[in-house]
Amino acid sequence: MPEGDTVFRAARALDAVLAGRTVTRSDFRVPAFATVDLAGEPVHSVASRGKHLLMRIGGQVVHSHLKMEGEWRVFRLGEPWRRPAWQARAIIEVPDASAVGFELGTLEIFPAGEEAQRLSYLGPDLLGAEWSALEAVRRLSSSPEMPIAVALGEQRHLAGLGNVYVNELCFLRGILPTRPVADVDLEPLVDLASRVMRANRERAVRTTTGDTHRGRQLWVYGRASEACRRCGTRIEHGRLGRNALELRESWWCPKCQR
């Protein structure tokens, strides 16, 4: 599932292939940007911010968000794509490689000077060079009555956490996902979020248990009715969100989380 660590690795891989090279062909398969042509423009960098991926090309930024199904893949020129062509939303080619964005949840192109303003709503990036735990705590504290699981998933509080990390962090800190923010010791929770995310940014297989074997990487996420790995109690499952239209799946151990 694409969360901050997944997007960080994707941006790094794309940067290694594209940065410092000149675009030979671009193809954006969304109506709003179908006429944009970046051929001849230099690729300055590819970077991530939270769950957002930013390609800085010439005077433009190609901004994408993977959502649930999206991904970027790199191919040698002429190499067959290993996903259907109809799923491609963006193609960026340089002299010896092609970067293809499949099923991107968001794709837009805007002037480079607008990047800071357009992403200003995001909280501190857990994997960013300018990460600030103090600012993340301050932003979380601004929603004292919000359930902590909902608050952690709010990208305006801190950028990069998705539902996997939200559920796992609540377990690791022994916190019920429904507990209001005001009743949570935020500093150690935010510190743990940073440490766990950074520990996983170099791993192809995400783990919060420390075990990378299949089926043993996570404590509670996706494990409804299974035995808690710590105490043996059955994992419970529910849904939480800011409103009925934004409900997300939640898992917890009723004994280990209070």
Q: Which of 3, 93, 154, 168 is catalytic?
A: 3
Q: Mean of the pLDDT values across residues 230-251?
A: 93
Give yes or no for residue 179 having a pLDDT over 80: yes
φ, ψ of residue 119 to 5 degrees: the values are -105, 15
**Torsion sign (Cα): 100, 62, 68, 124:** positive
User: Is 255 known to be catalytic?
Assistant: no
Give yes or no for residue 167 having a pLDDT over 70: yes
Q: Where are the domains of the chain?
A: 4-119, 133-252
Give yes or no for residue 1 having a pLDDT over 70: no
The number of angstroms, rounded, from the C-alpha of 121 to the middle of its chain's C-alpha atoms is: 15
Helix spans in 119-162 (H)? 133-141, 148-153
User: Is 3 known to be catalytic?
Assistant: yes
- Report the relative pairing of strands 60-65 and 43-49 from DSSP bridges: unpaired
Query: Residues 9-59: pLDDT tens digits?
Result: 999 999 999 999 999 999 999 999 999 999 999 999 999 999 999 999 999
Please, are residues 149 and 181 in contact by the beta-carbon 8 Å criterion?
no
- Give the pLDDT of residue 62: 98
Looking at domain 4-119, its CATH architecture is Alpha-Beta Barrel (3.20)
Query: Residues 77-91: pLDDT tens digits?
Result: 989 999 999 999 999
Neighbouring residues of 197: CB distance < 8 A, sequence distance ≥ 6: 4, 5, 126, 127, 160, 161, 165
User: Is 144 known to be catalytic?
Assistant: no
Query: Residues 130-164: pLDDT tens digits?
Result: 999 999 999 999 999 999 999 999 999 999 999 99
Give yes or no for residue 119 having a pLDDT over 80: yes
* Domain 133-252 CATH (choose: 1.10.8.50, 3.30.950.10, 1.10.620.20, 1.10.10.10): 1.10.8.50
Q: Which of 2, 124, 147, 177 is catalytic?
A: 2
- Give the pLDDT of residue 242: 86
Q: Is the pTM of this model over 0.85?
A: yes
Query: Residues 181-228: pLDDT tens digits?
Result: 999 999 999 999 999 999 999 988 999 999 999 999 999 999 999 999
Q: Which of 31, 41, 51, 154 is catalytic?
A: 51
φ, ψ of residue 198 to 5 degrees: the values are -70, -35
